[in-house]
Amino acid sequence: MTAAATGRAAAAPAAADAPAPAKQVDVHTDGACLGNPGPGGWAALLRYRGRERELAGGEPLTTNNRMELMAAIVALETLSEACDVTLHTDSQYVRQGITEWLPNWLRRNWKTAGGAPVKNRDLWERLHAASARHRIRWRWVKGHSGDPDNERVDQLARTQAIKFKETTRA
């Protein structure tokens, strides 16, 4: 029985030169700051086919929003090829910024609706560039709500912030 006879659509034949499906990568990110501004840390967990890679870093004087952005930036920049990414963040600033606000900022030459310069423009530009080659689903997860991967990157980010706090005292 043909597809037409059953009422189902026939599958299109695969093109010989069709690109292979992109790698599916699951990413969890978080940023932390001890004081705002203050010493901060960021962390990302990348998961692909059961393998995991942790990334973490920080700065001696920064803000929580900059650390949230850095976590997403470094995670995406680390991927060596175009991927299908599901990026989990507890930062509405990052999720809304990249999915809702960025197109308007670009149209207004990096100005907010009120005409003020966009804060953290350097990092937004970097995140925009890092996002361009990937297909990304931005997922918000409630922070400190028991999500094991969010708790894990939160702890890694806090550890980095503490490390930078201790080095600034020395």
Report the DSSP pairing between strands 38-48 and 135-140.
unpaired
Question: Residues 31, 38, 57, 58: which is the catalytic one?
Answer: 31
Clarify whether 154 is annotated catalytic. Answer: yes
pLDDT (0 to 100) of residue 21:
58
Known catalytic residue at 68: yes
Q: At residue 18, does pLDDT exceed 80?
A: no
Q: What pLDDT was estimated at residue 22?
A: 81
Tokens standing for residue 22? 């992109």
Does 154 belong to an annotated binding site?
Answer: yes
Whether 90 is a known active-site residue: answer yes
Q: In the chain, what are the domain boundaries?
A: 22-169
- Annotated binding residue 90: yes
Q: What is the pLDDT of residue 73?
A: 99
Confidence of residue 89 (pLDDT cuts 50, 70, 90): very high
Among candidate residues 28, 88, 90, 134, the one labeled active-site is 90
Name the pTM for this structure. 0.86
Task: Give which of 109, 113, 140, 136 is closest to 125, Cα–Cα.
Answer: 109
- CATH second-level architecture of 22-169? 2-Layer Sandwich (3.30)
Our answer to whether residue 7 is catalytic in this structure is no
68 marked among binding-site residues: yes
